[in-house]
């Protein structure tokens, strides 16, 4: 049995500074883009955890935010538009000992890749998804996205929109994500704390980071995001799903964006359940994807 095919019980750790996780590739986002804050938060979280870059895979789809893996010292896969989730799932199932981080935007995640989101959550796949949510398509120059505010004028909605925006937090709570957090990308301390906790969480962690696009979204500026963000109240029970939904809805009703850890629970992960299945069906002691494939053969 190859040791690297066993379910992940802990992250492989080393001692590195956050700058050691920064790839030599220069970040090429526009000046003032919120994604710089996300990158800083991620690098800080990796350092605080001490993730071994040799056991780290960053996966993205397409979009400005999906360039992020280029700037991180890790194995990386820059995949198709909206398909980061399925590719990352394959990486995780083949090598459950690796730490897998997905980064991408609101269009990539909830429009083109929207069909994949509920399945990562309900299967509780042991990965971390960082959504860099700027309420617009940035790379393709300013079209309306699933999280755009209705009144926002974009190149595809020149008179404002006719649809209500999708709420990524309510969506992921509904479909069973076991770790859900939100922060303004400029609040690097909170963003990095949520990423760190999310990566250490055993299960599907979803972190929504509000990240301004000064080039194509004049409404959701850094100041607007910062002013609207409000920490969930003291005493918020992060283990109570109904309380999490109520906290989000209560904040939304008064035009606020709830931030911090919103929900966290424990549930068997996909690799744990598959390991149990292999033991039960095949009598094998350890999780091994190749043995599962062999069992499925006629
Ligand atoms: Fe950032 Fe927007 Fe520029 Fe893309 S277009 S790099 S999202 S500011
Ligand atoms: Mg976007």
CATH of the domain at 45: 3.40.50.970
How high is the pLDDT of residue 1? 36
How high is the pLDDT of residue 281? 74
Instruction: Pick left, alpha or beta for residue 50 (phi over 0 → left; psi -120 to 50 → alpha; otherwise beta).
Output: left
Asked if 197 and 189 touch (Cβ cutoff 8 Å), the reply is no
DSSP 8: P
CA dist., res. 63 & res. 68, Å (int): 10
Determine what percent of the chain is predicted with pLDDT higher than 90.
84
**What is the mean predicted confidence (pLDDT) over 138-151?**
97
Ligand 1 atom showing the smallest separation from residue 29 Cα:
6
Range of the domain at 40: 7-296
**What is the mean predicted confidence (pLDDT) over 5-31?**
84
Whether 94 maps to a domain, the answer reads yes
Asked if 148 and 165 touch (Cβ cutoff 8 Å), the reply is yes
Whether 1 maps to a domain, the answer reads no
Asked if 44 and 37 touch (Cβ cutoff 8 Å), the reply is no
Alpha helices in the chain (DSSP H): 35-49, 84-94, 106-107, 117-122, 168-174, 188-200, 222-228, 241-253, 270-282, 289-296
Q: How far is the CA of 115 from the centre of ligand 1 (A)?
A: 25
Residue 153, SS3 per DSSP: coil
Residue to substitute in 31, 64, 147 for testing ligand 1 pocket (most ligand atoms within 8 angstroms of CB): 64
Ligand 1 atom showing the smallest separation from residue 134 Cα:
7
Q: Does the pLDDT of residue 293 top 60, yes or no?
A: yes
On the 0-12 / 13-18 / 19+ scale of CB atoms within 10 A, 68 is buried
Residue to substitute in 30, 104, 154 for testing ligand 1 pocket (most ligand atoms within 8 angstroms of CB): 30
Asked if 109 and 59 touch (Cβ cutoff 8 Å), the reply is no
**What is the mean predicted confidence (pLDDT) over 274-280?**
80
**What is the mean predicted confidence (pLDDT) over 265-284?**
84
How high is the pLDDT of residue 106? 98
Q: How far is the CA of 237 from the centre of ligand 2 (A)?
A: 30
Ligand 1 atom showing the smallest separation from residue 211 Cα:
7
How high is the pLDDT of residue 286? 62
How high is the pLDDT of residue 295? 65
Whether 56 maps to a domain, the answer reads yes
Indicate the pLDDT class of residue 222, thresholds 50, 70 and 90: very high
Indicate the pLDDT class of residue 119, thresholds 50, 70 and 90: very high
Helix (H) or strand (E) holding 67: none
Indicate the pLDDT class of residue 23, thresholds 50, 70 and 90: very high
Whether 83 maps to a domain, the answer reads yes
Whether 251 maps to a domain, the answer reads yes
- Total-model pTM: 0.93
How high is the pLDDT of residue 9? 52
Residue 76, SS3 per DSSP: strand
How high is the pLDDT of residue 285? 60
Q: Does the pLDDT of residue 81 top 50, yes or no?
A: yes
Q: Which residue's C-alpha comes closest to atom 6 of ligand 1?
A: 29
How high is the pLDDT of residue 274? 84
Strand partners, 180: 206, 263
On the 0-12 / 13-18 / 19+ scale of CB atoms within 10 A, 255 is exposed
Asked if 128 and 141 touch (Cβ cutoff 8 Å), the reply is no
How high is the pLDDT of residue 6? 47
User: How many domains in the chain?
Assistant: 1
Whether 40 maps to a domain, the answer reads yes
**What is the mean predicted confidence (pLDDT) over 201-206?**
97
Nearest-Å Rg of the Cα atoms of the chain is: 19
Asked if 125 and 272 touch (Cβ cutoff 8 Å), the reply is no
């Amino acid at each position: 049995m190859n040791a690297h095919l066993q379910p992940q019980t802990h992250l492989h750790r080393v001692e590195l500074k956050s700058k050691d996780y920064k790839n030599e590739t220069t970040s090429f986002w526009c000046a003032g883009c919120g994604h710089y804050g996300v990158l800083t938060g991620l690098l800080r979280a990796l350092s605080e955890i001490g993730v071994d870059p040799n056991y780290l895979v960053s996966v993205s789809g397409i979009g400005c935010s999906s360039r992020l893996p280029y700037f991180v010292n890790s194995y990386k896969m820059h995949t198709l538009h909206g398909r980061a989730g399925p590719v990352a799932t394959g990486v995780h199932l083949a090598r459950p000992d690796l730490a897998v981080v997905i980064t991408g935007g609101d269009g990539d995640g909830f429009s083109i890749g929207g069909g994949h989101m509920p399945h990562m959550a309900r299967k509780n796949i042991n990965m971390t998804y960082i959504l860099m949510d700027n309420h617009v398509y940035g790379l393709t120059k300013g079209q309306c996205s699933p999280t755009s505010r209705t009144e926002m004028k974009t190149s595809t909605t020149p008179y404002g929109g006719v649809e209500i925006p999708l709420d990524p937090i309510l969506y992921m709570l509904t479909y069973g994500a076991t770790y859900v957090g939100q922060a303004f990308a400029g609040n690097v301390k909170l963003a990095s704390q949520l990423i760190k906790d999310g990566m250490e969480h055993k299960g599907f962690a979803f972190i929504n980071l509000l990240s301004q696009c000064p080039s194509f979204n004049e409404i959701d500026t850094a100041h607007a995001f910062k002013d609207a963000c409000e920490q969930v109240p003291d005493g918020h029970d992060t283990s109570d799903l109904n309380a999490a939904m109520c906290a989000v809805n209560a904040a939304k009703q008064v035009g606020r964006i709830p931030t911090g850890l919103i929900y966290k629970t424990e549930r068997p992960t996909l690799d744990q359940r598959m390991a149990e299945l292999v033991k039960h069906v095949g009598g094998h002691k350890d999780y091994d994807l190749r043995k599962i494939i062999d069992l499925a053969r006629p």
